[in-house]
Chain A
Amino acid sequence: MKLISIELENFRPYQGTQKANFARDPEGNVTVLWGTNGGGKTTLLNAFTWALYGVLSNDVENQNQLINITIWNSASEGTPLTASVTIEFEHGGHFYIVKRSVYASKRGGVQPRPKSELQLWRRESSGNLETILNPNGRLDQMLPKRLSSFFFVNGERIEGLVKHEGGDDVREAVKTLLGLEAMERAVMHLPKVTQKLLRGLKAEGVAQQKLDHLLGEMEDAERMIQEQQRRRNAAKKEKKHFDSEIELLNLKMTQLAEARELHQNRYRLEDQLKRVQAARRGQEEERARLVGISGFLAFLPALPGSILAACEELRERGELPAPLKRAFIDDLIERNECICGTPLDEGSSHRAALEHWRARAGLAEVEAAWNQLGGIVGSIDEQRLQMYDTLRGFGERIAEAQEEERHIEHGIDDIGSKLKSLPSEEVVETEENLEAAKLARDEKVAAIGAANAEIQRLEGIKENLKNQIGKLEVRDARSRRLKNRVVAVEDAGIALASILEVLSQGVRRRLDARIKELYRLVSLKNYEPELTPDFELKLWDPSGSERSLAPKSTGENMLLSLAFVGSLIGEAREAQSPDRAFVQGIGGDFPVVMDAVFGNLDDDYRQAVSDFLPRLASQVVILTSKAQAGEIVEQELRPRLGKQYVITTHTTKTDVSSATEMLTLNGDAYRYQVIGSDRTGAELTEVRN
């Protein structure tokens, strides 16, 4: 998608018709719109999302007041009024025009809740406009609403991606981007489809009653599973919140001089505890494996003796091993004479008797088994004693690890007590908060575990019920077909869930690699970014002996968030390639429109961000104030600037202090803030090259 222009007609502060064309040249791919704070920049960003999806961000005040207020107030009662936003763009080799409008008749000072109308046209090569039906659906296919916040970016909020709560947004964005949303919905819907199909089954007499009963129980189990899943998800969300709080408190503790040393010692002990626990769990698993494979030996102390005695008896009776050797009989038949001298002519009864014996004689397997049996049974005692020794070894190592764990835990508790007895109130308060947060987090971990166990138990019940339904005799061919249908739908659900997991982790891996690459190019610090398996964006500091979370920095967080946006754009571009067509994702080249991206950054980061932005996407639109951007941004962006606009802000106020009335760009002066104007509003003026 490439943006060509945006046109605002009486839309909020923009009175009359205001239009901006966007730079599309690969070398000069940046358009900057300069506007004061509160002067219409955020409205312009919202104009994009309103035109495409009919939504305004939550921070927009008076959301119903879409028609320019000056126009509304000056109109006489009953006058029909309108506001609209029109965007022209190119996508997939076609040119489109999207227009969203609101209409209202003036009734009093307050505008009614607006109902908007959306139109979408495709421009034919002849210049004619073809109306596109279902414009909402078509636009959502081109650039899904769920992704819009990553392409129409509010700089003040994008930093939130790096926080824990950002994980959900990132996960959703990734799934939408790859087209996994459809698959995810299908995985969710298929069990319900199975239930619907099962309700159509018919059986005979008593079997029908049983079937109804089983189906009822299965629906109950499904309901309970959903309830447990809901609880688990809520607990996971709360755990994330506590994890985030613990991270913040830990960072705070390392920044408090009185606590730093003790806290770092605690970090070390916690790491050591994790390692010891992992080693102990490893030993426990090995022990369980040994018991699983050789545990039976413990129950056989008398058996080897009994087996050997029984075999000896058979041997003494000549029944084991096989009493006759096959080769011996073969020799007799070949010589045509028995050992007793009886001729063994072809067809004779003597020869037939010997041939009968030959079939039973000297079975190689019996002889081999006999030989093996003696060896195995003889070594059982030895194996048992060896198993006891190994188990004793595991037991000792596990006990040692448990003792070490207790010792470390004691050390950690001790540090906690020392921290709480330090004179600094801030340290004591932080430590108490940390303890409370860890306790609360542990409760949530327990709740997640309990829900998982309950889900597993209920899934077992459901599986059992399903098997019982499967075994019931159904009444007719239709029900038999239905049963086959159920099997196909269930198999499809299982396969889709597996594919979804493979694809989600695959795209996470690719995005992670892209983020690392982009971040390395622009970061001012030696930090390492990571998109975790839970789709959380993390920044690590690898400078210590163990990597730790990097201290929060607005600048680094902004760069990391932008690297994520850049990685999404790169992945979307890559998704166009035909070898990635298994699931139809969102493919194409997308622009980025960014508001307030330089706010709260110091000069180093302003420079880094403005150096990064033109490389982020093939088309970049930046909305910024002169004060936020400063000279550095202008200098950095100048080589890539394709177009510039000034958003002139009009205010009727006359007592505005420190206003910037004129802005000089490319050697020309433009009105920036008009103080004491006859109206309140905004207008766009293109900067001359």
Chain B
Amino acid sequence: MTDKEDQQEIDRIQQILKGVSPEAYDVIKMVIALERENLHKSEALARNTVREEMVKKAEGIV
């Protein structure tokens, strides 16, 4: 169901992603992957470990 509005949505997302630095783009990929891994845990349970992990993984990016 890719209509005109779906395409506009895709364009807007691409525009947003074009506007970020390569480092910020890698951070986006990293955090989404990390959150997805921990999605089966409740937010309260996951939050501390996820944030610590993000800090560590950001070191590998910038």
Is A485's CB under 8 angstroms from B32's CB?
Answer: no
Query: Which B residues between 31 and 62 are near A, CB-CB below 8 angstroms?
Result: 31-32, 34-36, 39-40, 43, 46-47, 50-52, 54-55, 58-59, 61-62
Per-residue contact bits, chain A 493-532, to B (CB 8 Å; 1 contact, 0 not): 0011011001100100110000000000000000000000
Given A189-B51, A502-B12, are A183 and B32 neighbors across the interface (CB < 8 Å)?
yes
Residues of B contacting A140 with CB < 8 Å?
A: 39-40
Q: How far is the CB of B61 from chain A (nearest CB, A)?
A: 7
* Docked-complex contact A189 and B62, CB < 8 angstroms: no
Q: Across the interface, which residues of B come within 8 angstroms of A498, CB to CB? A: 16
Contacts of A485 in B (CB 8 A): 23, 58-59, 61-62
Residues of B within 8 A of A136 (CB): 40
Q: Are A495 and B40 in contact (CB under 8 A)?
A: no
A193 touching B24 by the CB < 8 A rule?
no
**Contact of A495 with B24 in the complex, beta carbons under 8 Å:** yes
Chain A interface bracket (under 10, 10 to 19, 20 to 34, 35 or more)? 35 or more
1/0 per residue, CB under 8 A from B, across A544-568: the answer is: 0000000000000000000000000
**How many angstroms between the C-alpha atoms of A499 and B35 in the bound complex?**
16
Cross-interface CB contact of B62 among A190, A481, A579, cutoff 8 Å? A481
Instruction: Determine whether the beta carbon of A495 is less than 8 Å from that of B19.
Output: yes
Tell me if A's interface is mostly helix, strand, loop or mixed: helix
A141: Cβ under 8 A from any B Cβ: yes
Which residues A94-147 have CB closer than 8 A to chain B? 134, 136-137, 140-141, 144
Q: Is the CB of A503 within 8 A of B43?
A: no
| A574 at the B interface (CB under 8 A) | yes
Known: A499-B13, A499-B16. A183 touches B55 (CB 8 A): no
Q: Evaluate contact between A495 and B16: CB separation under 8 angstroms.
A: yes
Q: How far is the CA of A134 from the CA of B26 in the complex (A)?
A: 28
In the complex, whether A192 has a CB less than 8 A from a CB of chain B is yes
By the criterion CB–CB under 8 Å, are A506 and B51 in contact?
A: no
In the complex the two chains form, what is the Cα distance from A182 to B10 in whole Å?
Answer: 19
- CB-CB under 8 A from A181, the residues of chain B are 35, 39
On whether the beta carbons of A492 and B50 are closer than 8 Å, the reply is: no
Report Cα–Cα, A136/B42, bound state, in Å. Answer: 12
Q: Is the CB of A492 within 8 A of B31?
A: yes
Q: Which of A155-186 contact B (CB under 8 A)?
A: 179, 181-183, 185-186
**Within the complex, which residue of A179, A192, A492, A579 is in contact with B2, where a contact is CB–CB below 8 Å?**
A579
In the complex, the answer to whether B31 meets A186 with C-beta atoms within 8 Å is: yes
Q: Is A299 an interface residue (CB 8 A)?
A: no
Q: Which residues of B contact A481 (CB under 8 A)?
A: 62
Q: Considering the complex, give the chain A residue whose CB is closest to the CB of B24.
A: A491
List the 7 shortest-distance A-B pairs measured between CB atoms, nearest first.
Answer: A491-B24, A492-B27, A182-B35, A488-B23, A137-B40, A140-B40, A485-B62
Known: A196-B52, A499-B13. 9 other contacts (CB 8 A): A185-B43, A186-B32, A197-B55, A485-B61, A487-B24, A488-B58, A492-B24, A496-B31, A499-B16
Report 22 cross-chain contacts, Cβ distance below 8 Å, ordered by A residue: A185-B43, A185-B46, A185-B50, A186-B31, A189-B31, A189-B54, A192-B47, A484-B23, A487-B21, A488-B23, A489-B54, A489-B58, A492-B20, A492-B28, A495-B20, A496-B32, A499-B17, A502-B16, A503-B13, A509-B5, A582-B10, A583-B32
Query: Could you tell me which B residues sit within 8 Å of A by CB distance?
Result: 1-2, 5-6, 9-10, 12-13, 16-17, 19-21, 23-28, 31-32, 34-36, 39-40, 43, 46-47, 50-52, 54-55, 58-59, 61-62
